[in-house]
Amino acid sequence: MLPAFRCLAAASLLLCAAQAQAFSLDDVVGRARVLMSAPYAAPVSNLPPVFSQMQFADYQKIQPLAQRFEWRDQPTPFKLNFYHQGMQFNAPVAIHEIVDGNVREIGYDPQRFDFGNLAFDKNQTSKLGYAGFRVLYPINREGKEDEIMSFLGASYFRVIGKGQTYGLSGRGLAIDTALPSVDKSQPTAEEFPNFREFWIQRPSAPDQQLVIYALMDSPRVTGAYQFTLRPGADAVLDVKARLFMRGTVSTLGVAPLTSMFLFGPNQQSDKRNYRPAIHDSNGLAIHTGAGERLWRPLNDPRNLTVSSFMVDSPKGFGLLQRGREFSRFEDIKDRYDLRPSAWIEPQGDWGRGKVQLVEIPTADETNDNIVAFWTPEVQPQAGEALQYDYRMHWTMDEPALMDKNLAWVRQTFHTTGELLQSNLIRQPDGTTAFHIDFEGPVLAGLPPDAVVNAQVSVNANADLVSSAVERNPAINGWRVTLRMRVKDPAQAVELRAALASGNKTLSETWSYQLPPGGSAAQ
């Protein structure tokens, strides 16, 4: 409920009335501050065994009933429905509605759900609640209620625009991701904050945006969030995060993204598969405060890998799905070609820090194994308050994110190096090779006699045997081919390449890590 307002005199009644109408982020900030000063209380499961021991296939049978969607009887294109508790979603999440300044809790009602053929005592739902919620909006055609946003589990959420399908996820915050645990019985010391409570502003008929407030809690951080969702061909989500440190963290991950990469042309599968690639995202893009553009293709490494990119006052970063032709995936069921990219655009100066990329080994496509976030150079201490505002673009128009004066990497191919012999037979020569295709208007507009060269660097764990640049007329771009000899296959190789013409930079920087054991020449 709203915090009580105290009117000290009759003259202040109008002021108090105005305050009562204005539930805002400040109200959630007040709650987060109170939580920060109190001992952490972990969410407590209220699930009976029939729900706590439920398998995923059975959990999927619990579906919201369309006739019971929230705002069904309201003149707004937005609708809400709810996730039922079950499996690991074992503690209820409070969900409130804000209408004309009044706040009411949207109480749990089992009559909102179709439980399919699940057999259980209906009395066992009497003390349950919601695990999260979905937002629906007619994004693809008039009158069709499409799911466009979802909050479920910890501080995870997903968003899609027109014609898109769910892929990567956003998170409210990441804490100590991929750090070794003090407790050797645990794989990591990562902490997963939870959104414990939501307040959703009921939109009026003409409103084209939805405002959601969330209260976050974890052992070492509390937080107040405001999400403003604007549906469209691209979905835009403005985020205001106010963080309050209960304790000290080693790595605070701001604006984290979580995705999946299993294989693609830069790291082919060692198993037969009709699909050329399986991934929700295939690279990390960064726009530094100094104006440099970086592209780091993703890997599914043999061991957990953490890569850091020093980025002061970042202008943007994100996990992107570059290359959307269906032929790149050939997957009719999962439609990886329709999964959006997510681009983070900081609002204001975030100061000195770095973008961190975490790549985790995975055996299949059901596990998210990629995390990216920004972290400040100096980690906050207990008692500090922090503020981060940013805009998230959920898009399938990746070229629109690019600088039109720079070419970008279209594709990275990793293969065994080879030489063309005098008899025209291609002979493997024991090297590892990369073919990097660059495209973009700046390349398409070059004159036929343009001289283009590649600026290439390789770390000390490899010798660069050759580099070559040639036109790629099929894409109206250019291809860089690198051949190198890896010295120690048990160590990573770091490579960088960019196109230039004289003193003019023509492209973003391709920054790649060949992980240990990743040499194609082995």
> What Cα–Cα distance (Å) separates residue 193 from each residue in 43, 221, 477?
11, 8, 45
Q: Which burial class, exposed, middle or buried, applies to 149 when counting CB atoms under 10 A from its CB (0-12, 13-18, 19+)?
A: buried
286: helix, strand or coil: strand
Task: Give the pair of three-digit tokens for residue 192.
Answer: 């997963």
Do residues 214 and 225 lie in contact, with contact meaning Cβ atoms separated by under 8 Å? yes
Do residues 303 and 361 lie in contact, with contact meaning Cβ atoms separated by under 8 Å? yes
Task: Give the pair of three-digit tokens for residue 453.
Answer: 């060269």
The model's pTM is 0.93
Portion of the chain with pLDDT greater than 70, in percent = 94
End-to-end Cα, the chain, rounded Å:
63
**Measured between alpha carbons, how far is 399 from 385 in angstroms, rounded to an integer?**
36
Q: What phi and psi, each to the nearest 5 degrees, are found at residue 202?
A: -70, 120
- The pairing of beta strand 293-297 with beta strand 509-514: parallel
**Measured between alpha carbons, how far is 346 from 319 in angstroms, rounded to an integer?**
15
**CB atoms < 10 A from the CB of 441, how many?**
13
**Measured between alpha carbons, how far is 259 from 192 in angstroms, rounded to an integer?**
16
Mean pLDDT (the chain, rounded):
92
Q: How confident is the model at residue 517 (pLDDT cuts 50, 70, 90)?
A: confident
Do residues 253 and 370 lie in contact, with contact meaning Cβ atoms separated by under 8 Å? no
Segment 497-512 mean pLDDT: 97
Q: What does the pLDDT read at residue 6? A: 34
Is the alpha carbon torsion for 137, 140, 141, 145 positive or negative? negative
Which residues, including other chains, have CB under 8 Å from residue 97's CB and lie 6 or more apart? 70, 103, 104, 106, 199, 200, 202
- 3-state helix, strand and coil shares in percent for the chain, rounded to the nearest 5: 10, 45, 45
**Measured between alpha carbons, how far is 71 from 137 in angstroms, rounded to an integer?**
12
pLDDT in tens, 72-127: 999 999 999 999 999 999 999 999 999 988 999 999 999 999 999 999 988 888 88
Segment 183-210 mean pLDDT: 84
Segment 456-476 mean pLDDT: 97
For every residue of 153-175, DSSP letters joined together read STTEEEE--TT-----EEESEEE
Name the amino acid, one letter, at 424: L
CA-based nearest residue to 411, from 362, 453, 367, 474: 474
In this model, does residue 7 exceed pLDDT 80?
no
Q: How confident is the model at residue 15 (pLDDT cuts 50, 70, 90)?
A: very low
CA-based nearest residue to 78, from 181, 231, 199: 231
CA-based nearest residue to 402, from 465, 457, 322, 474: 322
Q: How many angstroms from the chain centroid is the CA of residue 394?
A: 9
pLDDT in tens, 308-330: 999 999 999 999 999 999 999 99
pLDDT in tens, 475-499: 999 999 999 999 999 999 999 999 9
DSSP 302: S
Segment 256-281 mean pLDDT: 96
Do residues 197 and 220 lie in contact, with contact meaning Cβ atoms separated by under 8 Å? no
Task: Give the pair of three-digit tokens for residue 207.
Answer: 């409103």
Task: Give the pair of three-digit tokens for residue 96.
Answer: 């409130």
Q: How confident is the model at residue 71 (pLDDT cuts 50, 70, 90)?
A: very high
433: which strand partners? 415, 483
pLDDT in tens, 406-451: 999 999 999 999 888 788 888 889 999 999 999 999 999 999 999 9
Task: Give the pair of three-digit tokens for residue 156.
Answer: 């995870």
Among 8-12, 212-216, 238-242, the range scoring the smallest mean pLDDT is 8-12
Q: How confident is the model at residue 188 (pLDDT cuts 50, 70, 90)?
A: low
Segment 143-152 mean pLDDT: 96
- Rg of the Cα trace of the chain? 25
Do residues 116 and 171 lie in contact, with contact meaning Cβ atoms separated by under 8 Å? no
Which residues, including other chains, have CB under 8 Å from residue 445's CB and lie 6 or more apart? none
For every residue of 214-267, DSSP letters joined together read EEEE-SSEEEEEEEEEE-SSSEEEEEEEEEEESS--S-EEEEEEEE-EEEBTTB
Calculate the CA dihedral of residues 439, 440, 445, 448 and round it to 10 degrees: 0
In this model, does residue 13 exceed pLDDT 50?
no
**Measured between alpha carbons, how far is 196 from 38 in angstroms, rounded to an integer?**
15
pLDDT in tens, 368-407: 999 999 999 999 999 999 999 999 999 999 999 999 999 9
**Measured between alpha carbons, how far is 157 from 154 in angstroms, rounded to an integer?**
9
Segment 287-298 mean pLDDT: 97
Do residues 355 and 284 lie in contact, with contact meaning Cβ atoms separated by under 8 Å? yes
